[in-house]
Amino acid sequence: MKISYNVNKNGFYGDFGGAFIPEMMHANIEELKSNYIKISSEKSFVKEFHDLLKNYVGRPTPLYFAKRLSNKYKTKIYLKREDLCHTGAHKINNTIGQILLAKKLGKNRIIAETGAGQHGVATATVCALMGIKCIIYMGEVDIKRQAPNVARMKMLGAEVRPAVCGSKTLKDATNEAIRDWINNPINTHYIIGSVVGPHPYPDMVARFQSVIGNEVKSQLKKIEGNENPNYVIACVGGGSNAAGIFYPYLDNEKVKIICVEAAGKGIDSGESAATSVLGKEGIIHGSKTLLMQTADGQITEPYSISAGLDYPGIGPMHANLYRSGRGKFISIDDKDAMKWGLNLSRMEGIIPAIETSHAFAVLDKIKFSKDDVIVFNCSGRGDKDLETYIDYFKL
């Protein structure tokens, strides 16, 4: 039998995935698991989802041929413009899908956790859109670091609750959100923002984000006469924008997959987020995957200049892409990522999010040939990172 890189019926991607959860969360997860595919394939759901993606998010996003970049690197480079989505990144595709699902399940209260605040903003946005109560858990340290996003969430009507335990960052916010969900199983849905967490979250989020890859297929078919590029390339934090663009190509090995992780100050510096290389098998947030940990299994605090990539794990789909060799993993340090923020701005007039900048740095690491068709997922825009760019380049 041909192997598949997609999820199996038990919620595993090869050795990774599953649902390793406390007994008290069982009912919530079970409810989701038995409903997510059924509800999200109903005609009325599909129609409402796609209407909102079109008229609210602004889809389909363009597949843009980057002419100057292509000339310089002597290959054919396309950008999938997720940076043009409402709220400035791909995250909204998933939050729209999950809020519609929550409504169908009869939930009237939404919780989420956020680190840098991007997922919090995308969640607060769809809650405002639907008139549903929204509570965002965020580490106290992150609340101070990410003031503009906290203000956005409040502007959108969300309540931002500080997590005051531990390192007061993302993982502590996640623990608070899980505690909340256990206490409010009936009326509350927990919107997870990436392809992480217990099954069915990784698969559910990948399906909602797969709109990205499906659009690429039909757009490439029109432009190039072939729906298959030679390479698809995306940055990986938890892995949702990557999963979205890889999705229709997962089992088509003619299309090469490249995952770009954040090396931070360097893989061996102790300040990095290069999970595939540095990570070992373990369980984080209910899923078996590769994660950065100490010898006795304590989760290590990751570091990257881009707040969206400093997650200590990667989703189980990506852990399996790494272990099986289906995906090629490259880590890019802060310096090269920042340089590419500037390169893309000056060569194409597109200021990318710093997360996104990491992906483009691959152009200096791999030699592509003249006839290769390469699609980069341009996951988000750089407005949110202007402060960091200003400090770094003394603009």
Active site amino acids: 91, 113, 379
Q: Which residues 21-80 are close enough to bind ligand PLP by CB under 6 A?
A: none
Residue 29, burial from CB neighbour count under 10 angstroms (0-12, 13-18, 19+): buried
Give Cα separations from 179 to 34, 111, 120, 195, 237 (angstroms): 22, 11, 18, 20, 24
Residue count, binding to ligand PLP (CB under 6 A): 19
Which of 239, 286, 312, 341 touches ligand PLP by CB under 6 A?
A: 239
Give Cα separations from 165 to 141, 162, 168, 197 (angstroms): 10, 9, 5, 20
Nearer to ligand PLP, 40 or 149 (CB): 149
- Closest contact distance (angstroms) between CB of 44 and ligand PLP is 28
- Closest contact distance (angstroms) between CB of 360 and ligand PLP is 12
Which of 117, 198, 202, 238 touches ligand PLP by CB under 6 A?
A: 238
The HSE-up count of residue 9 (CA atoms within 13 Å, CB side) is 0
Tokens of 5: 């890189």
Cis peptide before 60 (omega within 30 of 0): yes
Nearer to ligand PLP, 194 or 293 (CB): 194
**Residue 235 lies near ligand PLP (rule: CB under 6 A):** yes
**Which segment (13-21, 143-151, 276-284, 351-359) binds ligand PLP by CB under 6 A?**
351-359
Nearer to ligand PLP, 182 or 375 (CB): 375
- Closest contact distance (angstroms) between CB of 63 and ligand PLP is 17
**Residue 287 lies near ligand PLP (rule: CB under 6 A):** no
Nearer to ligand PLP, 75 or 357 (CB): 357
- Closest contact distance (angstroms) between CB of 315 and ligand PLP is 8
- Closest contact distance (angstroms) between CB of 24 and ligand PLP is 27
Which of 240, 287, 289, 304 touches ligand PLP by CB under 6 A?
A: 240
**Residue 356 lies near ligand PLP (rule: CB under 6 A):** yes
**Residue 302 lies near ligand PLP (rule: CB under 6 A):** no
Bridge partners of 290, per DSSP, are 281
CB count within 10 Å of CB 141 equals: 17
Contact 334, 304 (CB under 8 A): yes
| Apex 255 CA angle, 254 and 258, nearest 5 | 135
**Residue 19 lies near ligand PLP (rule: CB under 6 A):** no
- Closest contact distance (angstroms) between CB of 170 and ligand PLP is 11
CB count within 10 Å of CB 305 equals: 24
Q: Which residues 192-231 are close enough to bind ligand PLP by CB under 6 A?
A: 194
Q: What is the dihedral of CA 102, 107, 111, 112, to 10 degrees?
A: -10
Nearer to ligand PLP, 293 or 379 (CB): 379
**Residue 237 lies near ligand PLP (rule: CB under 6 A):** yes
Tokens of 104: 């169908």
Q: Which residues 303-332 are close enough to bind ligand PLP by CB under 6 A?
A: 308-309
- Closest contact distance (angstroms) between CB of 227 and ligand PLP is 23
Which of 236, 245, 250, 362 touches ligand PLP by CB under 6 A?
A: 236
**Which segment (255-263, 293-301, 352-360, 362-370) binds ligand PLP by CB under 6 A?**
352-360
Cα end-to-end distance, the chain, whole Å: 56
Phi, psi of 219 (to 5 degrees): -70, -45
Round to whole Å and give the CA distance between 123 and 260: 25
Give Cα separations from 291 to 151, 246, 274, 284, 393 (angstroms): 31, 21, 9, 7, 32
Q: Which residues 98-117 are close enough to bind ligand PLP by CB under 6 A?
A: none
- Starting at the earlier edge strand, list the strands of the sheet with 373-377: 63-65, 76-80, 373-377, 231-235, 256-264, 327-333
Binding site for ligand PLP (CB under 6 A): 89, 91, 118, 194, 235-242, 308-309, 353, 355-356, 379-380
